[in-house]
Amino acid sequence: MTDRIQKMYDYYVKDKAHHEFRQPETDKYRYAVKYKEQGLCDTDRAVYRLRDVLNEEKPVVFPDEKIVLLRTVRTLPEIFTEDEFKEISSKHYIHEQGKVCNICPDYTNLLKYGFAAKKAEIENKAEEFAKAGKKEEAGYEQALISTIETVQHFMERYAQEAEKSGNDYAAVTLRKLINDAPETLAEALQYLRIIHYCLWCSFNYHNGLGRFDQYMYPYFEKDMKEGRIDKDSALELIEEFFLSLNKDSDLYTGMQQGDNGQSMMLGGLNRDGSESFNELSDICLQASLELKLIDPKINLRVNKKTPLSEYIRGTELTKVGIGFPQYSNDDVVFEALRRWGYDEDDIYDYTVAACWEFIIPGYGTDIVNVNGMSFPKCVIASINKLEQFDDFDALMEDVRCEIFKESDRLRETAANVYMEPSPMMSLVMNGCVENGRDVSKGCKYNNYGFHGTGIATAVDSLASVRKYVFEDKKLTKEEMLTAVRNDFRGNDELLNELRYEGPKFGNDDDRTDEIAVKLLDWFADALEGHKNDVGGVYRAGTGSAMYYIWQSENEQATPDGRRKGEQFAANYSPSIFTRLDGPFSIIKSFSKPHLERVSNGGPLTIELSDTMFRNGEAVEKTAAFVKTFIDLGGHQMQINAVNLETLKDAKLHPENHRNLIVRVWGWSGYFVELDECYQNQIMKRMQLII
Amino acid sequence: MKGIIFDIKQMAVFDGPGIRTTVFMKGCPLRCRWCHNPEGLSFTPQLMVSDNGCQKCGKCMDKCEHKDKCISCGECVRVCPMHLRRIVGTEYTPEELAARLLKDKVIYEMNGGGITLSGGEPTAQPEFIIALLKKLEGIHRAVETCGYCAPDIFRTVLDHVDYVMMDLKLIDEKQHEYWTGKSNRLILQNLEQLKKSGKPFVIRIPLIPGVNDTYENKVQTAGLLTDADNLQFVELLPYHTTAGAKYGMIDRCYEPGFDTDRAVDTDISAFKKYDIPVKVL
């Protein structure tokens, strides 16, 4: 990285010195009360909120920045008072905070045209609607115009500040972008920063960055052709943009710091079968590799034909230990999207929403994480009726019914959804301007996605009952039930056997894996054919988000030797209790289910010691391993080069890290099996590596 | 016929070409003072205990009926709530083990990988490994060996593998005997067979500080390798102080008898001198 980027890195990331510009926390209802008094409708409130937040903003520009904008307002205001929101909540299903979130805009809606042309287009539309007597739509177009004017006004203030701070470059760029579309890569990045920033200020959160390497490529290509940039200066620009995504991210809405949905998708198949991974994609990987920042989160689209070299590039990034890239398999995801009715024109453009849920930029207002289906909950319900079943098949049939019941229940909860309008987001979503209709009312795709939580716990529990009760007859049904109901108290040997020696999903044992195939099929079956109240379908998934904690907290012990309240494994991952046969077995088992039916999103998550990335040869082999999972038909994978924090946790809670492999000297060992002095030693070494 | 193994490790990335599964055969004729796999030395099953995470609940000792001398009965294994105890050493017939390894054939084939027999010392269970290697025909087979076995056994093993990784620890016979417990005469004899076999091979040297990391030993080693066209490269594995990690787990003391804190001399000029490709891992 250049000196300039290094300095910016130190300032923003290391020292966080820009926090000095932040304004004090304020009352989040500071405007809601006024809006209520003025009797404003929700759309007007949303327009005013952006205006009021941007007016509160104090522009900060540094002399050598090319991409400006800094958040100084800490507290984003609500548009409704508490009472008003309570009233709305009583009549509607509120997803998370009731905001438009977790989708991916099509930024080209503004990038290609600029504000002046977009405004002209909207004015025409407004006139058309007015002529046709469509008052509501005409009024909505006015809201969009006001939003553009608000942003333009804000940009003018920033341009003035840029002049004052002696950054003429930024002043000129900003003034141009007030009306005109960007023409160069630097301008396009500044423009994207403005849009993205204003989305956050509109209280939209988890705003995906989508296929950045595709929509930015024309600017890159033109600049390169005209000699305005070379690869090095392009890298510097991209790095500055990546840094900008980390300036304010601690102010963003999320479950945890870092959970902010700033995901970026690189590469992927084009409709004609060609590969879209380009020079700019590679520069993005390089930027992420050099900066080692948690934002943007890099995703790579791959398929059966993706060459090993691309996986190697990805694995070099994994080696850094930041937990990405995450890989998505086009071969599986295309098929999944087709099955759910996505148009052939759109599927080639898929990206991930915040984490891993697949979505179409600009078209998808899917609520991809509307709820989570707990597989263990269904299995426990059936196992509690164990005495009724004559054989394992009867138990399985009951599990199937429970999955249907639970899926039905979850479907029914997610109806009559209300979301706050967002004219700002509507400017970058397709169809909003054309139809005079806010994004909160839905765009082209309005499907609902469910996570599928705790699959390994569910499968292992059923396999355990089959083995110990129905086949080996080591336990009677009553004994098994008593054991789990008593949380295995006084039954150490049984607990030990079930937990550590029982059959596990991930050991490439067809009979156990077949249970996983069935459970996931039934989850898909249960949702198939149903429509939500906005005309969308339901998508089954294999992610867990936080549900693996929420849904396990109060759940009784399970026949896989999990005790009451113990967590399920996160995402689409094997049991965390015991060492499995190994990584080959895991990828083989986990690619057996019909993943194209359950591809709402949710990666197989595998952790490997960063010693598995020690030299070029090892990196290449680890890359080959990822490729193998994809080639076997896996849908999504994230692979972690385990870092120091994980090892520290492994020391404190070895039971959660049984499969953590470390290369010690000329040999590999399981970290938790080593004596403390050696663990410390390795941790020290890792400190040096990191 | 049965063989005894102490581990099977999938996704081995340092044990030969491609991504591999390594089988660790239990039992070894040598007693290298720096051995990092002490559970691989004896040919019989034994109890292995990890201390990490032990809650000192005492359930293992309550169960134990052989407190004076462990007979590896495994009774304590079944009561440890943290799963810190295991019996290391599992017997397999060649058919059973081959079936298990062949399950991942597709993965080896997709990645130019295969199966590596390591240890312990694989050639110390010759009938078993030859039977096993025959059953694995068609898959890339490698062996990691110390080279200490009867020459006819070594030759037969060579006939059934595609790739060899052989240790050369010390060239001086007396020194070799002192540090490993055995003369290196058989090893050097087998090295000659290996060179003549035409099989691609790698020579590995665990570099032990003050023992064999001297220029003299390296230059003697290099001198033996100048005429081997089938030598791929020499790999130097610098000693690491974690080598003793597993001794406590099998109730043994690690007494290497050399200064473990001394820096390893990883100078490669002796190999460069003879134009021998060399890597330091």
Per-residue pLDDT tens digits for B103-136? 999 999 999 999 999 999 999 999 999 999 999 9
**Cα–Cα distance between A528 and A285 in angstroms, integer?**
38
Beta bridge partners of residue B4, listed in sequence order: B91
Chain B residue closest to A611 (CA)? B13
Chain A residue closest to B59 (CA)? A492
Q: Is the pLDDT of residue A559 over 60?
A: yes
Please state the rounded mean pLDDT for residues B14-18.
95
A200-214, B48-62, B151-165, B179-193: lowest mean pLDDT where? B48-62
Q: Is the pLDDT of residue B81 over 90?
A: no
CB nearest A667 (choices: B10, B36, B110): B36
A340-344, A542-546, B28-32, B138-142: lowest mean pLDDT where? A542-546
Q: Is the pLDDT of residue A690 over 50?
A: no
A87-101, A283-297, A589-603: lowest mean pLDDT where? A283-297
Name the pLDDT band for B241 (thresholds 50, 70, 90). confident
pLDDT in tens, A142-177: 999 999 999 999 999 999 999 999 999 999 999 999
CB-based contact (8 Å) between A583 and chain B?
yes
Q: What is the CATH number of domain B3-45+89-280?
A: 3.20.20.70
Q: What is the rounded (10 degree) CA torsion for A426, A430, A431, A433?
A: 50
* Residue B83 confidence (pLDDT): 86
**Cα–Cα distance between A103 and A361 in angstroms, integer?**
7
CB contact under 8 A, A666 and B103: no
Please state the rounded mean pLDDT for residues A191-212.
97
Between A211 and A293, the higher pLDDT residue:
A211
CB nearest B78 (choices: A493, A577, A676): A493
Please state the rounded mean pLDDT for residues A496-510.
95
Structure tokens at A144: 């969009």
Taking a C-beta distance cutoff of 8 angstroms, is the pair A353, A368 a contact? yes
* Residue A546 confidence (pLDDT): 78
**Cα–Cα distance between A21 and A71 in angstroms, integer?**
9
Q: How much of chain A exceeds pLDDT 90, in percent? A: 81
* Residue A683 confidence (pLDDT): 67
CB contact under 8 A, A499 and B83: yes
* Residue A472 confidence (pLDDT): 97
A146-150, A312-316, A548-552, B94-98: lowest mean pLDDT where? A548-552
**Cα–Cα distance between B161 and B139 in angstroms, integer?**
10
Q: How much of chain A exceeds pLDDT 70, in percent? A: 95
CB nearest A666 (choices: B103, B110, B237): B237
CB-based contact (8 Å) between A688 and chain B?
no
Chain B residue closest to A488 (CA)? B81
Taking a C-beta distance cutoff of 8 angstroms, is the pair A57, A23 a contact? no
B276: nearest Cα among B196, B192, B215, B218 = B218
CB-based contact (8 Å) between B61 and chain A?
no
Query: Within 13 Å of residue A535, how many CA atoms lie on the same side as its CB?
Result: 7
Name the pLDDT band for A538 (thresholds 50, 70, 90). very high
**Cα–Cα distance between A666 and A311 in angstroms, integer?**
26
Please state the rounded mean pLDDT for residues A438-460.
97
**Cα–Cα distance between A313 and A284 in angstroms, integer?**
11
Please state the rounded mean pLDDT for residues A324-333.
95
> Which of A577, A588, A621 would you mutate first to test chain B, the one with the most B CBs within 10 A?
A621
Please state the rounded mean pLDDT for residues A442-467.
97
* Residue A664 confidence (pLDDT): 43
* Residue B20 confidence (pLDDT): 96
A292-301, A401-410, A670-679, B58-67: lowest mean pLDDT where? A670-679
What does pLDDT average to over chain B?
95
CB contact under 8 A, A508 and B50: no
Name the pLDDT band for A608 (thresholds 50, 70, 90). confident
Q: Which residues of B touch A495 (CB under 8 A)?
A: 81
The domain limits of chain B are: 3-45+89-280, 51-88
Name the pLDDT band for A667 (thresholds 50, 70, 90). very low
Q: How much of chain B exceeds pLDDT 70, in percent? A: 100
DSSP A195-231: HHHHHHHTT-BS---BSHHHHSHHHHHHHHHTTS--H
A162-171, A542-551, B226-235: lowest mean pLDDT where? A542-551
A266: nearest Cα among A300, A294, A241, A235 = A300
Q: How far from B189 is each of A450, A669, B149, B193, CA to CA, in Å?
A: 66, 33, 10, 7
- With a cut of 0.85, is the ipTM above it? yes
Q: Which residues of B touch A658 (CB under 8 A)?
A: 83
How are beta strands A326-329 and A297-302 bridged, if at all?
Answer: parallel
Q: Is the pLDDT of residue B53 over 80?
A: no
Name the pLDDT band for A676 (thresholds 50, 70, 90). confident
Burial code of B141-179, b = ≥16 C-beta within 10 A, e = fewer? Answer: bbbbbbbbbeeebbebbbebbbbbbbbbbbbeeebbeeb
Name the pLDDT band for A116 (thresholds 50, 70, 90). very high
Count chain A–chain B contacts defined by CB atoms under 8 A. 122
Please state the rounded mean pLDDT for residues A460-473.
98
Q: Is the pLDDT of residue A612 over 90?
A: no
* Residue A607 confidence (pLDDT): 74
If contacts are CB pairs under 8 Å, which of residues 174-213 in chain B contact chain A?
204, 206
CB-based contact (8 Å) between A492 and chain B?
yes
- Which segments of A384-509 does DSSP mark as H helices, in order? 392-413, 423-427, 432-435, 455-465, 477-485, 492-496
* Residue A257 confidence (pLDDT): 53
Taking a C-beta distance cutoff of 8 angstroms, is the pair B105, B139 a contact? yes
Name the pLDDT band for B232 (thresholds 50, 70, 90). very high
Shortest Cα–Cα distance, B247 to chain A (Å): 10
Taken in order B144, B150, B151, B156, the sign of the CA dihedral is negative
Taking a C-beta distance cutoff of 8 angstroms, is the pair B74, B111 a contact? no
Please state the rounded mean pLDDT for residues A121-140.
97
Please state the rounded mean pLDDT for residues A648-674.
67
Beta bridge partners of residue B278, listed in sequence order: B234
* Residue A549 confidence (pLDDT): 81
**Cα–Cα distance between B43 and A82 in angstroms, integer?**
73
What does pLDDT average to over chain A?
93
Q: Which residues of B touch A625 (CB under 8 A)?
A: 11, 19, 111
* Residue A134 confidence (pLDDT): 97
**Helix, coil or strand: residue A586:** helix
* Residue A686 confidence (pLDDT): 52
CB contact under 8 A, A508 and B103: yes
* Residue A659 confidence (pLDDT): 62
* Residue A661 confidence (pLDDT): 61
Q: Which residues of A touch B13 (CB under 8 A)?
A: 612, 617-618, 621-622
Q: Tell me, what amino acid is at A114?
A: G
Residues 6+ apart with CB under 8 A from A96: A102
Q: Which residues of B touch A678 (CB under 8 A)?
A: 242, 245
Chain A residue closest to B243 (CA)? A665
Q: Tell me, what amino acid is at B141?
A: R
Please state the rounded mean pLDDT for residues A59-74.
97
Shortest Cα–Cα distance, B35 to chain A (Å): 10
Shortest Cα–Cα distance, B54 to chain A (Å): 10
Q: Which residues of A touch B39 (CB under 8 A)?
A: none
CB-based contact (8 Å) between B44 and chain A?
no
pLDDT in tens, A242-254: 999 999 988 887 6
